[in-house]
Each structure stands twice: as structure tokens, then as C-alpha cells.
């Protein structure tokens, strides 16, 4: 299956973001991609700490997902992208949707919020519930897609619970904030999640200078199949494509049967 990751910057103009995202999906699909992953917060950027994300949030049948559904229907691609949903407490959910021409196939609400290194995502974002129906897996061709978002990457349980539910491919939309050691962490963790789960990882990031960029496709043995550089928020979206091989994944899981050798399961924290 041909896949693509899109690296693009989101502003606060939601109509412009929709148009640019749709154009990137058309470009990727025109290059053969059946699955296209866009970054976290594709619908609208985080803005400044004072930006009211609740004013930007949309329900899952709003203009953003409707636009994704339209372009998915036009191209035949399945699209993964980050949005903001209204939350009951006045904050928002940092949500990733999986969309086809038939509609929203799944949604994932970010579980781990980025309250670290001087940031406090939880001031504006409500965490999704761990486990339950917040571990979506979706069949895409011969593969099974699981989802995690940005800071979730630092928690191996997030990837493992999706793989335990059947995922063979992990989509990681992200706005991975730039800073000391951050690029090294991003690249190391992407490869680690692929290797420890013998799964493909499709990471779509927002670009420099605010974020790290370096979107990538990683294979189940940790080999980078496609990657981009830091990018620039003023530049047009970039697309990196790669081919996923199910037989290669099956061979990797057969020769390195770490999933079969597991002695621990993943369960939500009681806290």
C-alpha cells in the first residue's frame, strides 16, 4: 500500500487550512497514496497560549471533517488529520480523525497532554479517556491502522495498546515543539515505537521554526523509508511517500516475535 505523510503549518484561518490540507491530500493521492496522514492541529493551529481554542473547535460533522470527506471521496484515499472538538468543560479535545469518502471512520482524543518543558496544554485541552472506545483501529486495505498523537509518542503504552487491538500501522500526527534535544527525541522515539511493536509508523509533523518537522515513514525493523527535513512554516506543504509491504511486516513479526513473547498487558491507570 502506498502511503504519504504531509508536513504543513496551520494558522488560525480555518478556511485556508482546509484548502491547503485538501490540496496536499490531492497531491499525495495523485502520487499514488491510499493513506494520507496530516499533522496534529491541521484544522487550526494552537496559536499563542492566550488563543481560545474553544472558539475554533468543531464537532465531527463540521466543516473540517466535511472537507476531508469530500477530498477523500474524490481521491479514494483514507485521510488522518488533527482537529479540535468541543469538550463539555469548556476546553477542547485534541482529536485525530480518520476519514474516507464514506465519512468519519474513527476518532482518537489525545490522552497525554503536553504539560512539560514550559508548556501547559491542559489549560486549553481536555484529555481523552485511556482505553475503551478511545483506542480506535481501522482497516485500510490489508493493514490495520492505530492512532496516537504527538506527546503520546513518549508513552510506549499508547502504541502498544493500539497494536494489542490489532494495529499493524501507527499514525502519529504531531506538532512536536522545537527545542534542545527535541529532534533527537522525536527521531529516536519514532524508531523505537516501530521496532518494539514491529509495526509501520507514519509520522506527520508541523514544520520549523516552532516545531521540529522531520516527518517520516518507518518500517517494522526501524528502517526509515521516507523522511523530510525541518521545513518552514512559510513554505507550501511537503509530502513524503513510501510503500508498505504486509509480507515484510509478517516476516518481521515472525523472525522477531516480541509481541508473542509479551509477559505484561497494558491497562489504564486508575488515577
Question: Where does the pLDDT of residue 226 fall: very low under 50, low under 70, confident under 90, or very high at 90 and above?
Answer: very high
Distance CA 252, CA 17 (A): 38
Taking alpha carbons only, the member of 243, 150, 148, 157 closest to residue 197 is 157
pLDDT tens column, 26-64: 999 999 999 999 999 999 999 999 999 999 999 999 999
Distance CA 150, CA 242 (A): 21
pTM for this predicted structure? 0.97
Average pLDDT, the chain: 97
Cα–chain center distance at 52: 23
- Distances, alpha carbon 95 to alpha carbons 58, 74, 107, 224, in Å: 10, 24, 7, 27
Distance CA 251, CA 30 (A): 30
Look at residue 265 and tell me if it is in a domain.
Answer: no
Look at residue 120 and tell me if it is in a domain.
Answer: yes
- Distances, alpha carbon 27 to alpha carbons 2, 89, 177, 236, in Å: 13, 38, 26, 12
Q: What is the residue-wise DSSP string for 191-256?
A: HHHHHHHT-EEEEEE--TTTB----EEE-TTS-EEEE-----TTSPPEEEEEE--HHHHHHHHHHS
Look at residue 261 and tell me if it is in a domain.
Answer: no
Q: Strand, coil or helix: what is 139?
A: strand
pLDDT at position 171, please?
A: 98
Q: What are the backbone dihedrals phi and psi of residue 16, each rounded to the nearest 5 degrees, phi first?
A: -65, -40
pLDDT at position 270, please?
A: 74
pLDDT surpassing 90 at residue 268: no
Look at residue 56 and tell me if it is in a domain.
Answer: yes
pLDDT surpassing 90 at residue 221: yes
Look at residue 271 and tell me if it is in a domain.
Answer: no
Helices 14-30 and 63-75, axial angle in degrees (round to 10): 20
Look at residue 170 and tell me if it is in a domain.
Answer: yes
Q: Cis bond leading into 22, ω under 30°?
A: no
Burial class (CB in 10 A: 0-12, 13-18, 19+), 144: middle
Q: What positions carry a catalytic annotation?
A: 40, 110, 150
What is the total count of domains within the chain? 1
* pLDDT average, residue stretch 136-145: 98
pLDDT surpassing 70 at residue 147: yes
CATH code for the domain of 204: 3.60.110.10
pLDDT surpassing 90 at residue 5: yes
pLDDT surpassing 90 at residue 269: no
Look at residue 155 and tell me if it is in a domain.
Answer: yes
Look at residue 269 and tell me if it is in a domain.
Answer: no
Q: Among residues of the chain, what percentage have pLDDT more than 70? A: 100
Q: Strand, coil or helix: what is 263?
A: coil
Q: What are the backbone dihedrals phi and psi of residue 96, each rounded to the nearest 5 degrees, phi first?
A: -110, 130
Question: Where does the pLDDT of residue 199 fall: very low under 50, low under 70, confident under 90, or very high at 90 and above?
Answer: very high
Range of the domain at 125: 2-255
pLDDT surpassing 70 at residue 271: no
Query: First CA to last CA across the chain, in angstroms?
Result: 40
* pLDDT average, residue stretch 80-102: 98
Amino acid at each position: 500500500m502506498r502511503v504519504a505523510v504531509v508536513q504543513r503549518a496551520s494558522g488560525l484561518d480555518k478556511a485556508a487550512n482546509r484548502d491547503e490540507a485538501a490540496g496536499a491530500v490531492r497531491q499525495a493521492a495523485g502520487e499514488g497514496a491510499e493513506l494520507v496522514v496530516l499533522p496534529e492541529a491541521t484544522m487550526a493551529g494552537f496559536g499563542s497560549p492566550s488563543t481560545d481554542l474553544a472558539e475554533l473547535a468543531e464537532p465531527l460533522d463540521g466543516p473540517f471533517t466535511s472537507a476531508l470527506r469530500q477530498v477523500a471521496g474524490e481521491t479514494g484515499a483514507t485521510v488522518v488529520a488533527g482537529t479540535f472538538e468541543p469538550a463539555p468543560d469548556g476546553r477542547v479535545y485534541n482529536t485525530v480523525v480518520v476519514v474516507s469518502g464514506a465519512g468519519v471512520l474513527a476518532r482518537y482524543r489525545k490522552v497525554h497532554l503536553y504539560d512539560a518543558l514550559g508548556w501547559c496544554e491542559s489549560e486549553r485541552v481536555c484529555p481523552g479517556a485511556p482505553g475503551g472506545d478511545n483506542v480506535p483501529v481501522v482497516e485500510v486495505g490489508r493493514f490495520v491502522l492505530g492512532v496516537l498523537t504527538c506527546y503520546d509518542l513518549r508513552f510506549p503504552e499508547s502504541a502498544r495498546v493500539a497494536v494489542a487491538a490489532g494495529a499493524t500501522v501507527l499514525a502519529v500526527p504531531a506538532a512536536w515543539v522545537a527545542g534542545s534535544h527535541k529532534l533527537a527525541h522525536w527521531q529516536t522515539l519514532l524508531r523505537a515505537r516501530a521496532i518494539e511493536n514491529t509495526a509501520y509508523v507514519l509520522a506527520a509533523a508541523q514544520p520549523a521554526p516552532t516545531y521540529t518537522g522531520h516527518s517520516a515513514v518507518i518500517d517494522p525493523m526501524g528502517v526509515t523509508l521516507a523522511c523530510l527535513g525541518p521545513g518552514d512554516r512559510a513554505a507550501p506543504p511537503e509530502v513524503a511517500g513510501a510503500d508498505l509491504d504486509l509480507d515484510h511486516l509478517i516476516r518481521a513479526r515472525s523472525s522477531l516475535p516480541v509481541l508473542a513473547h509479551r509477559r505484561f498487558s497494558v491497562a489504564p491507570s486508575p488515577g
